[in-house]
Amino acid sequence: MELWRQLNQAGLVPPGLGPPPQALREPPAVGRAGQTLTSPAADTAGAREGLLWLWEELGHLRQVDIQLLGQLCSLGLEMGALREELVTFLEEDEESLIEEEEDEEEEEEEPEGKQKEGHLGASCSALRYQLPDFEMTI
Protein backbone atom coordinates (compact mmCIF):
# COMPACT_ATOMS: atom_id res chain seq x y z
CA MET A 1 0.00 0.00 0.00
CA GLU A 2 3.09 2.17 -0.11
CA LEU A 3 2.40 3.00 -3.77
CA TRP A 4 -1.17 4.06 -2.92
CA ARG A 5 0.18 6.38 -0.21
CA GLN A 6 2.67 7.88 -2.69
CA LEU A 7 -0.07 8.33 -5.27
CA ASN A 8 -2.27 10.04 -2.69
CA GLN A 9 0.56 12.31 -1.51
CA ALA A 10 1.29 13.30 -5.11
CA GLY A 11 -2.34 14.37 -5.47
CA LEU A 12 -2.97 11.92 -8.30
CA VAL A 13 -5.95 10.13 -6.73
CA PRO A 14 -9.14 11.32 -8.46
CA PRO A 15 -11.57 13.22 -6.22
CA GLY A 16 -14.24 11.03 -4.70
CA LEU A 17 -12.13 7.88 -4.90
CA GLY A 18 -11.64 6.57 -1.40
CA PRO A 19 -8.91 4.30 -0.09
CA PRO A 20 -8.56 0.73 -1.34
CA PRO A 21 -10.89 -1.83 0.26
CA GLN A 22 -9.95 -3.08 3.71
CA ALA A 23 -9.34 -6.57 2.31
CA LEU A 24 -6.47 -5.18 0.23
CA ARG A 25 -5.02 -3.01 3.00
CA GLU A 26 -4.71 -5.72 5.66
CA PRO A 27 -2.83 -9.01 5.64
CA PRO A 28 -4.95 -12.01 4.65
CA ALA A 29 -6.77 -13.89 7.38
CA VAL A 30 -5.28 -17.32 8.02
CA GLY A 31 -7.19 -20.40 9.10
CA ARG A 32 -10.66 -18.90 9.13
CA ALA A 33 -12.04 -21.22 6.45
CA GLY A 34 -11.72 -24.36 8.55
CA GLN A 35 -13.25 -22.67 11.57
CA THR A 36 -16.46 -21.88 9.71
CA LEU A 37 -17.71 -25.48 9.70
CA THR A 38 -18.08 -26.66 13.28
CA SER A 39 -21.06 -28.96 12.87
CA PRO A 40 -20.13 -32.64 13.46
CA ALA A 41 -22.43 -33.81 10.65
CA ALA A 42 -21.47 -36.76 8.43
CA ASP A 43 -20.94 -34.69 5.24
CA THR A 44 -18.65 -32.04 6.72
CA ALA A 45 -15.52 -33.55 5.12
CA GLY A 46 -16.75 -32.82 1.58
CA ALA A 47 -18.04 -29.41 2.56
CA ARG A 48 -14.77 -28.63 4.36
CA GLU A 49 -12.76 -29.55 1.25
CA GLY A 50 -14.97 -27.36 -0.92
CA LEU A 51 -14.71 -24.50 1.52
CA LEU A 52 -10.93 -24.82 1.78
CA TRP A 53 -10.63 -24.85 -2.02
CA LEU A 54 -12.84 -21.76 -2.23
CA TRP A 55 -10.81 -20.04 0.48
CA GLU A 56 -7.60 -20.81 -1.43
CA GLU A 57 -9.03 -19.39 -4.65
CA LEU A 58 -10.15 -16.24 -2.84
CA GLY A 59 -6.60 -15.87 -1.55
CA HIS A 60 -5.26 -16.13 -5.11
CA LEU A 61 -7.76 -13.52 -6.31
CA ARG A 62 -6.72 -11.23 -3.46
CA GLN A 63 -3.07 -11.55 -4.51
CA VAL A 64 -4.00 -10.68 -8.10
CA ASP A 65 -6.02 -7.68 -6.87
CA ILE A 66 -3.05 -6.45 -4.83
CA GLN A 67 -0.74 -6.83 -7.84
CA LEU A 68 -3.17 -4.97 -10.10
CA LEU A 69 -3.60 -2.18 -7.57
CA GLY A 70 0.17 -1.86 -7.29
CA GLN A 71 0.53 -1.71 -11.07
CA LEU A 72 -2.22 0.92 -11.34
CA CYS A 73 -0.57 3.01 -8.64
CA SER A 74 2.81 2.73 -10.40
CA LEU A 75 1.18 3.73 -13.66
CA GLY A 76 -0.51 6.69 -11.99
CA LEU A 77 2.80 7.88 -10.52
CA GLU A 78 4.48 7.48 -13.91
CA MET A 79 1.68 9.44 -15.58
CA GLY A 80 2.14 12.21 -13.02
CA ALA A 81 5.87 12.37 -13.79
CA LEU A 82 5.18 12.40 -17.53
CA ARG A 83 2.64 15.17 -17.07
CA GLU A 84 5.23 17.27 -15.24
CA GLU A 85 7.71 16.66 -18.06
CA LEU A 86 5.07 17.65 -20.60
CA VAL A 87 4.34 20.87 -18.72
CA THR A 88 8.05 21.71 -18.65
CA PHE A 89 8.44 20.91 -22.35
CA LEU A 90 5.42 22.99 -23.35
CA GLU A 91 6.55 25.93 -21.23
CA GLU A 92 10.00 25.82 -22.84
CA ASP A 93 8.43 25.49 -26.29
CA GLU A 94 6.12 28.43 -25.66
CA GLU A 95 9.04 30.55 -24.41
CA SER A 96 11.07 29.76 -27.52
CA LEU A 97 8.09 30.61 -29.77
CA ILE A 98 7.64 33.95 -28.02
CA GLU A 99 11.36 34.70 -28.35
CA GLU A 100 11.29 33.82 -32.06
CA GLU A 101 8.28 36.07 -32.66
CA GLU A 102 9.93 38.94 -30.80
CA ASP A 103 13.10 38.49 -32.86
CA GLU A 104 11.09 38.49 -36.09
CA GLU A 105 9.22 41.63 -35.05
CA GLU A 106 12.46 43.44 -34.28
CA GLU A 107 14.02 42.42 -37.60
CA GLU A 108 11.09 43.21 -39.85
CA GLU A 109 9.70 46.32 -38.11
CA GLU A 110 6.28 45.86 -39.68
CA PRO A 111 3.40 48.35 -39.41
CA GLU A 112 1.34 48.33 -36.21
CA GLY A 113 -1.63 46.45 -37.71
CA LYS A 114 0.48 43.47 -38.62
CA GLN A 115 2.18 43.43 -35.21
CA LYS A 116 -1.22 43.09 -33.58
CA GLU A 117 -1.89 40.06 -35.77
CA GLY A 118 1.40 38.56 -34.55
CA HIS A 119 0.27 38.88 -30.95
CA LEU A 120 -3.01 37.20 -31.85
CA GLY A 121 -1.08 34.33 -33.39
CA ALA A 122 0.97 33.93 -30.23
CA SER A 123 -2.12 33.66 -28.07
CA CYS A 124 -3.67 31.16 -30.48
CA SER A 125 -0.54 29.01 -30.45
CA ALA A 126 -0.57 29.10 -26.64
CA LEU A 127 -4.16 27.84 -26.66
CA ARG A 128 -3.17 25.03 -28.98
CA TYR A 129 -0.74 23.66 -26.37
CA GLN A 130 -3.17 23.16 -23.49
CA LEU A 131 -2.53 20.06 -21.41
CA PRO A 132 -4.79 17.06 -21.74
CA ASP A 133 -6.71 16.15 -18.62
CA PHE A 134 -5.51 12.76 -17.39
CA GLU A 135 -7.67 10.87 -14.95
CA MET A 136 -7.05 7.53 -13.34
CA THR A 137 -9.93 5.44 -12.12
CA ILE A 138 -9.37 2.32 -10.06
Which pLDDT belongs to residue 130?
58
Q: Is residue 113 part of a domain?
A: yes
pLDDT tens column, 34-48 = 555 455 555 677 788
- Identify whether 136 is part of a domain: no
Question: Is there a domain that residue 135 lies in?
Answer: no
Domain membership flag for residue 137: no
For the chain, which ranges sit under pLDDT 50? 37, 120, 123-124, 127
The pLDDT of residue 134: 60
Our count of domains for the chain comes to: 1
pLDDT score of 108: 79
Q: What is the pTM of this model?
A: 0.55
Using H for helix, E for strand and C for coil, what is the string for 21-74? CHHHHCCCCCCHHHHHCCCCCCCHHHHHHHHHHHHHHHHHHHHHHHHHHHHHHH
How far is the C-alpha of 90 from the C-alpha of 83, rounded, in Å? 10
Q: Is residue 138 one of the residues assigned to a domain?
A: no
- Backbone φ and ψ for 110, nearest 5 degrees, come out as -75, 165
Residue 66: inside a domain: yes
Asked, for residue 39, whether it belongs to a domain, the answer is yes
Sign of CA dihedral 71, 75, 81, 85: positive
What pLDDT was estimated at residue 28?
72
In the prediction, which pLDDT does 33 show? Answer: 53
Domain that holds residue 77: 2-128
